């Protein structure tokens, strides 16, 4: 059983469309991070959200932390082929233990 459930697991859309990826848990996390992973490489940190209700923007990416600090979402506006990759949410338990969701494999078609 995954502590963090991501949906959808796979998403294929056309360039220019918008999309949202969800990360849900029954547990409360001290913070939540989003990573992007490309083939043959390790995950790369995109953002950390700490406060319930927090919203952070990274160019066309918008990240939101749920009020109860159990869930998060990633919204991409006007997706581009360069956004293709595996997006992972991860929650920090306690001070150090980072646990990952299964990931959302995103494909943006030109």
Q: If binding is defined by CB under 8 A, does position 100 make contact with other proteins? A: yes
In this structure, are residues 8 and 104 in contact, taking their beta carbons and an 8 Å threshold?
yes
Tokens found for residue 63:
């990240």
Q: Which span sits near other proteins by CB under 8 A: 10-18, 20-28, 70-78, 94-102?
A: 94-102
Q: Give the chain's radius of gyration (CA, Å).
A: 13
User: Taking CB under 8 A as the criterion, which residues in 1-20 touch other proteins?
Assistant: 2
Cβ(12)–Cβ(107) below 8 Å: yes
Nearer to other proteins, 48 or 62 (CB): 48
Alpha carbons 36 and 47: distance in angstroms, whole number: 10
Q: Which of 28, 44, 58, 68 binds other proteins (CB under 8 A)?
A: 44
Q: Residues with Cβ < 8 Å from 82, sequence gap 6 or more?
A: 108
Q: Does 39 bind other proteins (CB under 8 A)?
A: no
Q: Which residues bind other proteins (CB under 8 A)?
A: 2, 30-31, 33, 40-45, 48, 50, 88, 90, 92, 95-103
């Amino acid at each position: 059983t995954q502590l963090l459930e991501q949906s959808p697991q796979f998403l294929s859309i056309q360039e220019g469309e918008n999309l949202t990826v969800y990360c849900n848990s029954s547990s409360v996390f001290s913070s939540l991070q989003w990573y992007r992973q490309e083939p043959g490489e390790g995950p790369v940190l995109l953002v950390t959200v700490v406060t319930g209700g927090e919203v952070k923007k990274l160019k066309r990416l918008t990240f939101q932390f749920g009020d109860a600090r159990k869930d998060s979402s990633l919204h991409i506006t006007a997706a581009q082929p360069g956004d293709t990759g595996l997006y992972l949410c991860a929650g920090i338990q306690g001070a150090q233990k980072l646990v990952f969701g299964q990931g959302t494999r995103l494909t943006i078609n030109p």
